A = this chain, B = another copy of it.
């Protein structure tokens, strides 16, 4: 292959023209914050009035889809809206219990937020409501500082305040276009975290199932099991039996719907059916079964205002802020992932940052009207999607159904047994322990599995926060490790071509005598420059050892393939200078192949190129090799012609 070209035949490696600092800063920030260029349409529009219209539509997507709305859509939306309402009412009450909040809050939270989302949200399939994990987290974190039984008012007000802060943070993230913050939760971390949270939530339900009144405030498996077994004399069998019956019923309906997706409504309706049957059962038999607790009175009437109840005074404000931020991020991650996946099915786009603003505003307004944290739960949205919803009007229908319930039907829930709510939660949670996804991770990527497992074990044996911190920490560590320990490998030539590849990946690739071609598989930064220096040294040592053993021609050139070096910092440049000096002392020459734009810019600014000379920088590995071979020839006309040697 590599014929000995003359130097003039090689392609020049360009140094990009210098960019003014402010311009390159603007470009970088644009790439980070406006990667998807959301305002392109508005910017390209010449007329101002049209611009304003487009801007309004950008903020309130309802203006976009309301124009094309028709009766057919309405029919679909009413059906799906009623379906999700039948799920939302019992689920709302259950999850509020999980957060140690009055059950009525679950209903309130299904009234205001869905209406706000219908105006501002861009997903057509998302059904808004409270979620189990955020509820549990609120309950666990708040319960550590304030006793919900002794001080119910403060507890309630802090829950509103936390919701307010969560909404505020979500709105800010969206407006500042910092939506990528949520990306720090990798898929693997979410699988583990959700599975762990679901396990913990199920464990908490044992309280309701066994009819216990005293229970630990901790959420870890050890404390919960100890609390349960130390009270074995308090277990109420009636409660347990009733709960198991409903659980079996709910799981059966789930199984049926899973097997036959057309029958989705069976599992969607089953919680409401359970509540109705459970309530009837207790209404007639509550004299016989004293062991079974029931909800009791629910206040009639729609959401009372709560804006004056927000607590902004220390010491509680920091607690509320902390809870708001943590639950807000988790709620965002779930809501956006759910919105995205359904948008994928129906082939439309969702702007994560816009969604964040919608979620944020809905939670802020929610916190003003006695709601706690809401997002787009997966289960409810899936039912909505299966029921054939067309637009966010299904959320409006659900809100109306909930309002009717609040106004007229709350007395019907008086005798609803708590154990039914526990069964509903357990049935919903079991689907979240996604062991198949975990197995898939194990097969595909051991590190991701490790992240997932850490999140799971952290949540189950520690607290939800520990699991969260562990999984985020390990995920970020992976990124740092990628940069900190880039792969560096020897390249060989694939015969009869000008292609050079990793000789471990392509064993048929042959190395060349007198030349060592090294490929650096990552950016060169402070975190890896010492490593790269040592590793390059070691590759050379090993190669020379091998050559001296086999008595071959000694090394002359080290070609560094920079194709995959996306960037370099000052530490990296110092490292290259150092390597160049060390090689010089060993009578080896450093040759650079294919430096990228960013790398080339910095190398020329730092005078590295001047110091090693332009004839040491080539556009491709093949040209670098050809040039080295040419120089070897002309330098020592009597030396043997370099040939390939099989590895």
Which A residues lie at the B interface, using CB under 8 A? 11, 14, 16, 21, 24-25, 31-32, 35-37, 180, 183-189, 344, 347, 352, 440-441, 443-448, 475-476, 478-487, 494, 497-499, 501-502, 504-506, 521-523, 525-531, 534-535, 537-538, 563-564, 566-567, 569-571, 573-574, 578, 581-582, 585, 596-598, 600, 602, 605-606, 619-620
Contacts and interface: CB of A to CB of B under 8 A. Distances in A.
Contact of A504 (B16, B484, B497): B16
Contacts of A478: 525, 569
Given A37-B538, A183-B531, A563-B563, 4 more contacts: A186-B525, A344-B578, A448-B571, A478-B525
Contacts of A535: 35-36
B445 A32 contact: no
A523 B352 CA distance: 22
Given A25-B446, A443-B605, A479-B527, A487 B180 contact: no
A24 to B, nearest CB: 8
Contact of A527 (B186, B352, B523, B534): B186
Contacts of A600: 505
Contact of A445 (B483, B502, B522, B570): B570
A586 to B, nearest CB: 9
Contact of A479 (B352, B479, B487): B479
Contacts of A37: 538
Nearest to A501: B619
Contacts of A564: 521, 563-564, 566
A642 B475 CA distance: 44
Contacts of A475: 526-527
B483 A479 contact: yes
Nearest to A586: B347
Given A521-B566, A570-B445, A620-B499, A183 B597 contact: no
Nearest to A585: B347
A187 B482 CA distance: 20
Given A25-B446, A566-B521, A183 B527 contact: yes
A49 B1 CA distance: 51
A37 B483 CA distance: 20
B441 A188 contact: no
A485 B444 contact: no
Given A499-B11, A530-B180, A569-B448, A505 B187 contact: no
Contacts of A485: 31-32, 35
A501 B623 CA distance: 15
Contact of A481 (B32, B440, B447): B32
Contacts of A502: 596-597
Given A180-B530, A344-B578, A444-B602, A523 B187 contact: no
A63 B521 CA distance: 39
Contacts of A606: 444
A94 to B, nearest CB: 31
A499 B566 contact: no
Count of identical protomers in the assembly: 2
Nearest to A351: B534
Nearest to A440: B570
A15 to B, nearest CB: 9
Nearest to A502: B597
28 contacts: A11-B494, A11-B499, A14-B506, A21-B446, A32-B481, A35-B535, A183-B526, A183-B529, A184-B527, A185-B526, A186-B569, A344-B578, A444-B606, A445-B602, A448-B570, A448-B571, A478-B569, A479-B480, A479-B525, A479-B527, A482-B483, A487-B598, A494-B619, A498-B498, A499-B619, A505-B597, A563-B564, A564-B566
B188 A526 contact: yes
Contacts of A573: 444
A485 B14 CA distance: 24
B344 A187 contact: no
Contacts of A481: 32
A570 B187 CA distance: 8
A52 to B, nearest CB: 24
Contacts of A499: 11, 619-620
Contacts of A36: 534-535, 537-538
Given A188-B526, A498-B498, A597-B505, A484 B446 contact: no
Nearest to A483: B479
A25 B446 CA distance: 9
Contacts of A483: 479, 482-483
Given A527-B183, A569-B186, A581 B344 contact: yes
B569 A531 contact: no
Contact of A505 (B14, B494, B527): B14
Contacts of A441: 570
Contact of A188 (B189, B569, B598): B569
Contacts of A35: 485, 531, 534-535, 538
Contacts of A487: 566, 598
Contacts of A497: 11
Contacts of A563: 563-564
Contacts of A16: 504-505
A346 to B, nearest CB: 11
Contacts of A445: 569-570, 602
Contacts of A187: 526, 570-571, 574
A180 B530 CA distance: 8
A494 B14 CA distance: 13
A352 B530 contact: yes
A178 to B, nearest CB: 12
